[in-house]
Amino acid sequence: MTRRPVPAHDVVVEARDVTMAYGDVDVLRGVDLDIHRGEVFALLGPNGAGKTTTVEILEGFRRRSTGDVRVLGADPERGDDAWRGRLGLVLQSWRDHPRWRVAELLAHFATYYPDPRDPAELLALVGLTDQAGRQVNRLSGGQRRRLDVALGIVGRPELLFLDEPTTGFDPEARHEFHLLVERLAREEGVTVLLTTHDLVEAERLADRIAMLVGGRIRALGTPAELARRAAAQAEVRWTADDGTPRRERTADPSQLVWELHRDADGPIAGLEVRRPTLEDTYLHMVKRAADGTDQAEDEEARAA
Amino acid sequence: MKGTRVTRYRRAGLQRGRIELRQLLRNPKELSGHLTNVAVAVAVAAFISEDVPGTGIPMAHLTLAGFAAYLLFQVGLVNLPQILVTEREEGALLRLRATPGGIPAYLIAKCVLVVATAVGTLALLLLAGAVLVDGPVPRGAAGWLTLLWVTALGLLAVVPLGAAIGAVLPNPREALALIMLPVMALLIMSGTVFPITTLPVPVQQVASVFPLKWMAQGLRSALLPDAARAAEPAGSWELPMVALVLTAWAVLGFLLAVPLLRRAARRESGSRLSARRRKAARSGAVPAQG
């Protein structure tokens, strides 16, 4: 994946110390975010971590308790129609317009925007040309989601929100979807904010990942950076001369493998090096939050 | 720029209304609901043989005029809230909220749909009545004019009110039950299908508060000869009162509908939609998906 340097001033989403409380419950405890133009940014976190609240604040669907937010240069709470036209939304819970025909629905939503995409080209882009005349409620789950994506980008949004976009997709549909998102980001410069549970998807698509746990961003960086940040070390596995499987954890797998080869003076059977993964980092973060490592800190904050 | 945007939204709204109307005409289930109303009204009229008391006018004419009023009432206060609640549940309202100009276009489309449905069923009822059971037709130019303004004002009285109700009702399953009971009570109390003077005076007084009685009375004045005034409580059509009560309901409806619809649209978000869907799936109303 190629990463282009992003000029610092081209910030599409900017959040500073955003908090959200429902009654006594603090859902967000000071979230900071910077998302740059053309970037695919993934927001990860367990259920209840505040992902949905964060995204809905950015979408202008929810009022924050405190903090500053700018999305495409405007405060989402005061976003007007012109501002709204520059956003695209793909939510997982949409089952709307069941009786409309696919092409008809897409052509209808094109009429709201000043410079829409061509509906027929868009259907081809999301692979629904053969379903153009079909009624929306007769689409499969994956087709329905691809239609949602088409509806989300028909107005040529600068910023696209994707909420758990590939839930329920088969591997092939997921692959196709990933290619589509990459194409939008790389070729058309669309900024994408992706929320997902799927770590593989986040790693595959995202330029940067933020992990939201307990109402705060606990980790932020490229997938590789985050993976490295895990306390976990790389694991080297091989089969010893007597046929028993062996495994060893090390900070320097290259050194270990070299030593193994030197000792064996030849190939090593069943050699495998497992780098720490994004999942290791993620589980580590979530576990630390659950363990109460952060609890003391939060309680201090509450007492203060 | 502003001008072109407004034009675009209006065009989108009219297009949406046209498409939804076509879907209604192609949906046998929904269409048969409207047609059944007309069929029932005509069948009832065919079985009534007596005259309006104290006159030589067939009771069937009074009944058909009353059913005509009820059709308008039902489109505004039963069909419209149901459509609004269903579309909110499916997420159409949220999608339109996320679309520039989506909410104005939605309202335009619903107006197109409601007016077309109401006028269509009304015309069908009068036509079927006239052809099949020698039903009433508007009496002269004045009759047509009265039919026109009572229909228009009647819709204005019930459509905004129906929109307000649709904005607050919890879900499509409960919505129908909550609406139908009072609507049926009003149908009986308002003297729509038999002379209201046969009802006890307190019932007549309660019915006088609500628009259905006045819609029926206004349509009777358009469709029945003046001799039928003998069966009216005041001995006259009371058209100024018809206009006054319906206008009052129209104003009240608008005052309620605007903030309630705005609130309903503002409250929509993806998480609320999913939460409601999970709840509905748990109660077994819709199959769990995704």
Domain residues for B58?
A: 2-282
Q: Using the beta-carbon criterion (under 8 Å), do B270 and A151 form an inter-chain contact?
A: no
Q: Which residues 6+ apart lie within 8 Å of B206 measured at CB?
A: B189
**Across chain A, where does the E strand assignment appear?**
11-22, 25-36, 40-44, 66-71, 87-90, 159-163, 191-196, 208-213, 216-221, 234-239, 245-250, 272-274
- Which tens digits make up the pLDDT trace of A208-244? 999 998 899 988 999 888 877 765 678 889 988 888 8
- pLDDT per residue, tens digit, chain B (290 aa), is 456 888 888 999 999 999 999 999 998 988 998 999 999 999 999 998 888 887 888 999 999 999 999 999 999 999 999 999 999 888 898 899 899 999 889 999 999 999 999 999 999 999 999 999 988 999 889 999 999 999 999 999 999 999 999 988 888 777 788 888 999 999 999 988 888 888 999 999 999 999 999 999 999 999 999 888 888 888 899 999 999 999 999 999 999 998 998 888 888 777 777 777 777 777 765 544 43
DSSP symbol at A24: T
Q: Amino acid identity of A164?
A: E
**Domain match, A77 and A20 both:** yes
At A4, the pLDDT band (50, 70, 90 cuts) reads: low
Statement: residue A198 has pLDDT above 80: yes
Question: Do residues B104 and B21 make contact, with C-beta atoms less than 8 angstroms apart?
Answer: no
Choose the mutation target among B4, B21, B86, B271 for the interface with A, i.e. most A CBs under 10 Å.
B271
- How much is the average pLDDT of A180-192? 90
**Domain match, A237 and A197 both:** no
Q: Residue A42, by phi and psi: left (phi above 0), alpha (psi -120 to 50) or beta?
A: beta
**Structure-block tokens of residue A281:** 């980092």
For helices A171-188 and A141-153, what crossing angle results, to 10°? 10
Q: Amino acid identity of A27?
A: V
Task: Answer yes or no: is B253 within a domain.
Answer: yes
How far apart (Å, rounded) are the C-alpha atoms in residues A85 and B9? 12
Average pLDDT, chain A: 86
Question: Do residues A51 and A59 make contact, with C-beta atoms less than 8 angstroms apart?
Answer: no
For helices B59-74 and B28-47, what crossing angle results, to 10°? 160
Q: Is the dihedral of CA A263, A265, A267, A269 positive or negative?
A: negative
DSSP symbol at A114: S
Task: Answer yes or no: is A240 within a domain.
Answer: yes
**Domain match, A77 and A161 both:** yes
Task: Answer yes or no: is A196 within a domain.
Answer: yes
Helix (H, G, I), strand (E, B) or coil at A212: strand
pLDDT at position A297:
46
Choose the mutation target among B99, B113, B274 for the interface with A, i.e. most A CBs under 10 Å.
B99
Task: Answer yes or no: is B288 within a domain.
Answer: no
Q: Please list the residues that pair with A237 across neighbouring strands.
A: A247, A272
**Domain match, A217 and A250 both:** no
Task: Answer yes or no: is A259 within a domain.
Answer: yes
pLDDT at position A301:
42
Question: Do residues A150 and A125 make contact, with C-beta atoms less than 8 angstroms apart?
Answer: yes
Statement: residue A292 has pLDDT above 70: no
Domain containing residue A212: CATH number: 3.40.50.300
Chain B residues within 8 A of A169 when measuring between CB atoms: none
Task: Answer yes or no: is A292 within a domain.
Answer: no
Tally the domains of chain B.
1
Chain A residues within 8 A of B105 when measuring between CB atoms: 112
- Which tens digits make up the pLDDT trace of A41-93? 999 988 888 888 999 999 998 899 999 999 999 999 998 889 999 999 998 77
Q: Please list the residues that pair with B236 across neighbouring strands.
A: none
Domain residues for A219?
A: 11-86+157-227
Q: Using the beta-carbon criterion (under 8 Å), do A81 and B101 form an inter-chain contact?
A: yes
pLDDT at position A265:
85
Task: Answer yes or no: is B231 within a domain.
Answer: yes
Measure A90 CA to nearest chain B CA, in Å: 9
- Closest-CA residue of B relative to A162 is B270
pLDDT at position A230:
64
How far apart (Å, rounded) are the C-alpha atoms in residues B113 and B91? 19
Task: Answer yes or no: is A58 within a domain.
Answer: yes
Contacts of range B162-165, beta carbons closer than 8 Å, 24 or more positions apart: B162/B76, B162/B77, B162/B78, B162/B79, B162/B80, B162/B81, B162/B84, B162/B253, B163/B80, B163/B81, B163/B84, B163/B110, B163/B253, B163/B257, B163/B260, B163/B261, B164/B253, B164/B256, B164/B257, B164/B260, B164/B261, B165/B77, B165/B81
Chain B residues within 8 A of A92 when measuring between CB atoms: 270, 274, 290
- Closest-CA residue of B relative to A114 is B5
- Which tens digits make up the pLDDT trace of A125-183? 888 999 999 999 999 888 888 899 999 999 999 999 998 888 777 888 888 889 989 98
B→A contacts (Cβ < 8 Å), by residue, are 4-5, 8-9, 11-12, 15-16, 19, 23, 27, 87, 90-92, 94-95, 97-102, 105, 268-271, 273-274, 277, 289-290
Statement: residue A304 has pLDDT above 70: no
pLDDT at position B279:
77
pLDDT at position B289:
42
Measure B91 CA to nearest chain A CA, in Å: 5
Task: Answer yes or no: is B287 within a domain.
Answer: no
Q: Using the beta-carbon criterion (under 8 Å), do A81 and B100 form an inter-chain contact?
A: yes
Global ipTM: 0.85
pLDDT at position A299:
43
How far apart (Å, rounded) are the C-alpha atoms in residues A206 and B58? 76
**Domain match, A74 and A36 both:** yes
Antiparallel, parallel or unpaired: β A208-213 and A87-90: unpaired
Chain A residues within 8 A of B15 when measuring between CB atoms: 108, 111
Tally the domains of chain A.
2
Measure A155 CA to nearest chain B CA, in Å: 9
Task: Answer yes or no: is A56 within a domain.
Answer: yes
Q: Which residues 6+ apart lie within 8 Å of A133 measured at CB?
A: A101, A102, A103
Contacts of range A252-260, beta carbons closer than 8 Å, 24 or more positions apart: A260/A236
Task: Answer yes or no: is A139 within a domain.
Answer: no
